[in-house]
A = this chain, B = another copy of it.
Amino acid sequence: MATVQPRTLQGFFDYLPEDMVIRSHVRDTWRDVFERFGYGQLETPALEYADILKGKYGEEEKLIYQFKDRGNREVALRYDQTVPLARVIAEHYSKLTFPFKRYEINRVWRADAARKGRKREFYQCDIDIVGTKSLMADVEIIAVLHEGFKALGLKDHVISINNRKIIDGFIATLKIPEEKQREVFRSIDKLDKIGKDGVLEELEKRGISKTAIPKIMNYLKIQESIGLKDNLYKKGTADQEYEQDFKKILKQMEFAEKGKEGVREIEEMLHYADVYGIDRKHFKIDPSLVRGLDYYTGSIFEIRVPSFGLTSLAGGGRYDGLIGMFAGKEIPAVGVGIGFEPICMALQELDLGPKDANTTQVLVTIFSEEYVKESYEMTRFLRKHEIRTELWLDKNTKLGKQFQYADRKSIPYAIVIGPEEKTSGMVVVKNMKTGEQQSIPSKDVLKALESIVIQKKR
């Protein structure tokens, strides 16, 4: 066999066991929250007929991995989890119960321009409620996010909310041609990235009318008008202050009938958020929040964690026009995409990963052939008590080498049962961090490992 250079495609990554610890933790945490809220899991194929995906992603369509399969069918790798959801809704309509609440945590593929660290294969983590226009559904999605971020230890999360109807209402007041409206839309969306000056420059370049531009710039200053700097509230802001600010902001957002409707929706959502016990301090009303995707029709929201900077960690909203695209009728829906990869990065950076990594907790060594049985029985005992235990797998290895293995794998404890121990019914427990060894009666081993044992299983 000719030697082939072992390598991975750019943008594709191996996740070794130590990388998987945080990834599994994030996955399990969300899954747990979703299921506690009664969401069911959905899995759709990695490959779809290409025409299912085409025409759905605008300019980004060129990033789809598409090819002809051996049967000469045009096929494509999943690009997101929303279009496949829409297909599932149409294809299995009669089997589903509505409102249909599903989650999916799975890989998607995008042939994005190569750049260091950019992933062409990554996980998405979505929940959606399909089949109801009730705003209680929008708030439930936010409540799920709130619970999940708390469960991950990202407790200072900020939920920015806005409503597409407000933006539409505002843009209608500009009295500019329809094709220009979309451009305004896209420029506003870039505020976070390019700042107000950047937006201004873009609007001028795009040839937006001289009367419209100042209005747009004023729109972007609504938050500043209440004295909110850097888009963030200070710690310890009083509840009434939020209350008043929200009122002041919302009052400036009632552009035409549509804008008023949007404002009413935000007010109703905030009311339910109160009922649901989500503290006001987590909310921020952000008129400049657009979320690029054209398909939103009502509420839009985004979550950031200030200690992790400006990266959006989840974003979604109501999109009543999209899910019905294959079913041939309007099917209301609200949902959110949770940034699986950025959340993993945030946990790593903020050192919020699981302390109890799901890797080995104890190595039971093999003293020699004659003590395999004793070592194995200790191993079995520990595993029965849900301690993740490895038995050394060779009867002819020096103890030093076995300790070295435990050390390299950061296994916190090693256990030795040799001739002395066998005779006296003792075991030696070695703390691999401190190097400290203690000889204890076998029956007390759980107590000696207490720091492990008391940790809850995932």
Interface residues of A (CB under 8 A from B): 1-9, 12-18, 20, 23-24, 35-38, 40-49, 51-52, 55, 62, 65, 67-71, 73, 75, 77, 87-88, 90-92, 95-97, 99, 101-102, 107, 109, 111, 121, 129, 132, 134, 136-137, 140, 272, 275-277, 325-328, 358-360, 363, 372-373, 376, 380, 383, 386-391, 393-395, 405, 408-409
Contacts and interface: CB of A to CB of B under 8 A. Distances in A.
A37 B111 contact: no
Number of chain copies forming the complex: 2
27 contacts: A3-B326, A3-B328, A6-B52, A6-B90, A7-B87, A8-B91, A9-B69, A12-B46, A14-B42, A15-B41, A16-B92, A16-B95, A20-B43, A35-B388, A36-B387, A37-B390, A38-B389, A46-B77, A46-B107, A97-B409, A101-B390, A129-B393, A136-B395, A137-B393, A140-B393, A276-B376, A276-B380
Contacts of A111: 69-71
Nearest to A3: B328
B408 A97 contact: yes
Interface-central residue, A95, A390, A405, by most chain B CB under 10 Å = A390
Contacts of A109: 46-47
Nearest to A4: B51
Contacts of A101: 390
Contacts of A91: 6-8, 14
Nearest to A272: B372
Contact of A372 (B49, B275, B373, B409): B275
Contacts of A18: 40
Contact of A44 (B14, B90, B95): B14
B38 A390 contact: yes
Contact of A376 (B48, B68, B129, B275): B275
Contacts of A68: 67
Nearest to A380: B277
B389 A37 contact: yes
Contacts of A373: 275
A91 B8 CA distance: 9
A393 B107 contact: no
B6 A20 contact: no
Interface centre among A2, A121, A136 (most CB of B within 10 A): A136
A359 B52 CA distance: 29
Contacts of A372: 136, 272, 275
Nearest to A13: B45
B45 A121 contact: yes
Given A18-B40, A40-B359, A140-B393, 20 more contacts: A6-B326, A8-B91, A9-B75, A12-B45, A15-B44, A17-B41, A35-B359, A37-B389, A38-B390, A46-B121, A67-B67, A67-B68, A97-B405, A132-B393, A136-B393, A136-B395, A137-B393, A140-B391, A272-B372, A275-B376
